[in-house]
Amino acid sequence: MLEITAFEARRRLRGTLFLSAAFLALIALTVGLFPSIQEAGVDFDAYLETLPPEASRAFVGSVTTLTTIEGYLVSQLYQFAWVILLANYYAYAAASTVAAEIERGTVDVMLSLPVSRSRFVVGKFLALVPSVLLVNAITFLGVYVGVVFVGESIDVVDLFAVHAYSVVYLLACAGIGVLASVGVSSIRRAQTAAVGAVFGTFLLDSLTFDTDYEWLGDVAPSRYFDPGEILAEGEIAWGDLAILAVAVAVLLVVSAEYFERRDLAD
């Protein structure tokens, strides 16, 4: 199993570095604009109050002010790039892990090795962990250096907590991708199902939050990751973090068990 993990992790290294570089560019652009936005004197908080609750929840998160570096980073960076973009990226990447082997006809060769189907699925999933960790480590340093460079200060512990928490969140989204990957034999269909599930539940979370139908959004991983609460308020919802961790384990177990029993001749 570890051989599969090591091989897949090495294969993903170049893509991970390219992804990290792209996010560093996004961070540089986002953080670099903050001083000019402050000097412009525009009342962004007044604009924030005019947003519909659904739009505010989806694209700004729980922050109540955009004039601090923390609120600005959450609204302009983490809420979009982490909660939406990276979540869908890892769901998309995970969806190809097993489905690609089935579609290309190489799964029989892989399973001829002394490894069970369950361990094969787990090994494929674990190969995504180094990528998630590396992207977060690089971008954590990028955000911190950028904030210091523009003359602002930020609590490094809270910043680290956002990235550490997001690791579990992104792995939960990857777990959805793996479940889609073992369920179908087509890479495209698996990727479509995974991204559709992650983004669809995100929209469900945003549209039902603080309504009579809020319970519908409980299935969304995004319901349990609030960058604003961590970075702007310095609070960690340990219960929500535990739910995400359990979701990762459950998705992985269900995926492995289903693949163990699946007839690959279908």
pLDDT of residue 54: 64
Given a cut of 80, whether residue 45 has pLDDT beyond it is no
Taking residues 189-204, what's their average pLDDT? 95
73 and 57 Cβ atoms separated by less than 8 Å: no
pLDDT in tens, 73-104: 998 899 999 999 999 999 999 999 988 888 88
For the segment 1-12, the average pLDDT, to the nearest whole number, is: 81
Residue 139 CB contacts under 8 Å (≥ 6 apart), including other chains: 20, 23, 24, 27, 163
- Cα 247 from Cα 169, distance rounded (Å): 9
Among 134, 136, 156, 135, which Cα is nearest to 145's? 156
210 burial level (CB within 10 Å; 0-12, 13-18, 19+): exposed
Q: Tell me what pLDDT residue 162 has.
A: 97
The pLDDT value given to residue 165: 98
* Amino acid 155: pLDDT: 95
Under the banding of pLDDT at 50, 70 and 90, the label for residue 38 is: confident
Radius of gyration, CA atoms only, the chain: 20
Q: Which of 93, 114, 125 is nearest to 259 (CA)?
A: 125
Structure tokens at 91: 């769901």
The domain limits of the chain are: 2-261
Share of the chain above pLDDT 70, in %: 89
What is the per-residue pLDDT for 55? 64
How far from the centroid of its chain's Cα atoms is residue 90's Cα?
6
Q: Which residues contact 59 (CB under 8 A, 6 or more apart)?
A: 75, 79, 80
Which pLDDT value is given to residue 213?
87
Tokens 């299935």 correspond to 219
Mean pLDDT, the chain, integer? 89
Whether residue 51 is predicted with pLDDT greater than 70 in this model: the reply is no
Residue 237 pLDDT more than 90? yes
